Structure 1
Amino acid sequence: MNTAEISDEEWMAWRGFRRLAEVITGRIVRDISDATGLSGPDFMILMALIRDPHGALLQRDLLEYLEWDKSRLSHQLSRMASRELVQRSRNNSAGISVSITETGRQLLATARPVHAKSVRRNFLDKLTPEDVNALIAITGRLRQSERGFIK
C-alpha cells in the first residue's frame, strides 16, 4: 500500500480516535468550567505552572511544552492575566516569566478534584485494566514526534 493511501479501517481508527478525544475532553472541560470558570487552556497552563516548584516557567518553555502557536499562547496568557490567574514579568536576559497567582492556585485547587472525578467517570471507569495497559503502550508510541518526545 502506498504510504499516502489510508485504508477504510485506518480511517475508522483515526476518526474514532479524534471523535473520542474531542467528546471526552469536552465533557471534562465542561465539568471544570462549570465548577470553576476555568477553560481547558486555562487549566492546562495552570497545571503546567504548578508542576514547577516555584509555580513559574519561562513563556518560551511553556510554548514548547504546549506546542501552541506563539500568538495563541500570548493571547491566552493575556486573558488569564486580566483575570489574575497568572502574572507575566520580564526576566532580564532569560525572557518573560509566567507565574501562577494566588487566585490561580485557589481555582486550580478547586479544579483538580473535579478534573480527576470527571476523568474517572468519562474515561477510566469505561476501561478494563487490560485496556489501560494497551492505551499506555499505544500512547507511548504515538507521543514520539518529529520534534521530540511529547510530555
Structure 2
Amino acid sequence: MSGKPLSPQELRIWHAFKMMGEDVLERVGRDISDATGLSGADFGVLSRLADLGKGQMRQQVLAQSLGWDKSRLSHHLTRMQQRQLIERQEADQRVVLVVLTKQGKAKLDAARPIHAESIRRNLLARLSQQQIETIVRVSNLLGEDV
C-alpha cells in the first residue's frame, strides 16, 4: 500500500460516494422515524428478522447481516427489547435467538409503505433509468472480491 495522500479529485470522488449514500439513508430514516417512531436501525433489524429469518434469527447471524459488531447489536437489541419490538431467547448456552414480537411486526408493517415511498421519492424519482443501471453496475463491481 502506498502512503501517498489522496489527490483532490480522488477526495471529491470519495466524498461524493459517501454523501450520496448517507444523504439518502438519512432522509429515508427520518421519514420512517417521523411516521412510526422507528429509527432506520430499528427498521433494518425488524426487516431482516421478518424477511431473512421468518421472524427469528440467531443474534450472531443478525449481526453479520447488518454488518454490525456484537456490542453494537447487543446494545441496540436491549433498547428494542425494552420497547417490546423484539425478544431474545436462549436456544442453548451459546446461541441467542432474536424474535420479532407482534408489536414489532405491527410497527414494521406500518413502516414498509413509508420506506418504499421514501426510497421512490428520495432516490429513484431523482434518477434516470440509465443512472439507476449505472449505480447497479458500480455497486456490483465494488461488491466483487478484489
TM > 0.5: yes
The 1:54/1:4 distance shift into structure 2, 3 A limit, reads same
**Partner amino acid for 1:92?**
D
- In the alignment, structure 1 segments of 5+ residues that lack a partner are 147-151
Post-superposition offset of 1:5: 3.8
Q: Does 1:60 align with 2:60?
A: yes
Equivalent residues in 2 for 1:3-14, closer than 5 Å: 4-14=4-14
Q: Deviations over 1:12-67 (max 9, x none)?
A: 11101112222211111110001100011100000110113531000000111112
**Partner amino acid for 1:77?**
L
Normalising by structure 1, report the TM-score. 0.89
Equivalent residues in 2 for 1:1-151, closer than 5 Å: 2=2, 4-52=4-52, 54-92=54-92, 95-144=95-144
- In the alignment, structure 2 segments of 5+ residues that lack a partner are none
Which of 20-29 and 116-125 deviates more? 20-29
Q: Deviations over 1:119-150 (max 9, x none)?
A: 1101100111111111001111222468xxxx
Q: Give me the CA root mean square deviation.
A: 1.7
Alignment coverage as a number of residue pairs: 145
Which of 78-87 and 18-27 deviates more? 18-27
